[in-house]
Chains A and B, each alone.
Chain A
Amino acid sequence: MKLSSLSISVIALSAAFATAAIAAGVKDKPKQGKSIGESGYEWNAGGGEQDEALHLKPDLVNGRDVYEVCAACHLPEGWGQTDGTFPQLAGQHPKVIIKQLADIRALNRDNPTMYPFALPDQIGGPQAIADVAGYIQKLKMNPEPGMGDGKDLEHGKKLYKENCAQCHGEHGQGDNDKFYPRLEGQHYNYLMRQYQWIKEGKRRNANPDMVKQIQWMTERDTKAVLDYVSRIKPPADKIGQKGWKNPDFQ
């Protein structure tokens, strides 16, 4: 009797240790959301942190502090990399930033490079998301984004007006209330990459209407329209001086 109780407690204890070891390896990984193409996928389903952050008043001073993490890749000015490795964030709509950040940290948008920086222990909770989105919106935009070869702009303009402008706006200004991103002046190579991923379903939080909308476009169409978009000049009050350095990080 004593012996069997003893063996049971040994087994129970070992099991407890084994479980603890497994749990430690996968902690902090939220469950992956539904992807585009899966049944039950709903674009911009919202909920959770996204809804919380949307209703919080941004504190721009804290937004600057949160942004310090982002600045390592997106640069202190929020201008990203001209080669498109990292997108321009400056001037982006707060709701777009909030949605994308919430999606990346909930694993609804795959971005292994950025993922750890989106985690609460790096940047904080919903208030921090609201703060950094407020800060990013106020940054003046890159006057010299990466562009395409400029050889097919008339074709691109026509395609843009007919297919993109309805949602992303006449000059690519996007729509904060609808979570549609500002596209004007975004780096061409970044646009190309995201566009391709949206088309293929690799960008898992894509808007299904857009996925359908762009399926017929040829390579020529894609290059032409995105080259055109990258060259649209944002409004004068949103654009920065060439060579501007963000004094918040000097």
Chain B
Amino acid sequence: MKQSHNAGAREFGLRLWRALRQPLIAVLFGLLVGALVILACGQNPAAVYLEMFDKSFFKPYYLFSTLTRATPIIICSMATSMAWRAGYINIGVEGQMVTGTLVATVVALYVPGPPVLIGLLAWIAGMAAGALYALLPAVLTWKFQVSMVITTLMLNYVANNIASYFVTYPLKDTSGDGLSFHTPEIHEVMRLPRLSSSSTFNAGFLLAVAVMLLMVFITRKTVFGYESKMGGFNPSFARYGGTKQVKVMMITMALSGAIASLAGSAEVFGLKYRYSDGMLSSTSYAWTGLMAALIADLDPIGMFFVSIFLSGLQIGGSAIQRSLGIPLEIATIIQCCITLFVSVKLVFKIRKKKASKEEVKEGGVKA
């Protein structure tokens, strides 16, 4: 009994180490490169970093800002990983998010009925729209073997431009100064509750936590999660094992798109209360989420923390720009360097694979 407990603990330790090893090393190197850039700006890296983390994680007000900003990033990273772990390179999370959010906002604004019900309906409609928008490239891949990378990427532009059109013309809020392109505000009852009296921190973050838990559940506890993961590791293996790959692809992409829509809906219903032009694309939520997914190697818990960390870098980055005059781009540089250093892992892996292949050629030395 005790032995099996020990084995379980060891296995858990191994898993945790595997999940955290790469991101930690990458973060370290990323900060190191950032330090060089800060030095080049003529500042003391230690002092800058101290200030930066102080104004992103250590002071409650900034911590709340960090978590608020992290909310859509976390959800986007989950949406990305949903598809990527099954081997479908969906880089259209932004488009799916925009489509879903626009539909949700329209439903919330224009469908008549009791606000509570309509609010709920809006979220569901948004998820359906995001799912459908993600199914489009999946169907194209299935029927015509079109590269999903290309279709999902291109559909981002389609979604962004269509959304721009709608908020510029038919959905534009004409009550204000008429200079900004956004919709009217949604009904107060539909808004997510604030979790802090002094900041905009809201229940959207709890939704992000829930999505993460859902991801953990799907990946670890369901047959679907198992089959899609195997398909991502080696599609031939999954096919040989008799899994229904088209079905897995459709469900995967639909879920990915539905989750993506939640990211934008949380932003509208929890923070802005309206859809304004470019609110989801200029902030790069989807791309930061993609980076978090890459850095954490698609592990849900890892992505959760990495998303918060990246969001902290951005919040801290703008803080040091204000107080120390260090350009905001420093945060972007660090963020990109971390992602770069994580991809170093790929090189290691390829080398390892080569080595193991040679071993196989020889007939399994370790046998």
Q: Say whether A and B bind each other.
A: no
Residues of A that sit less than 8 Å from B by CB: none
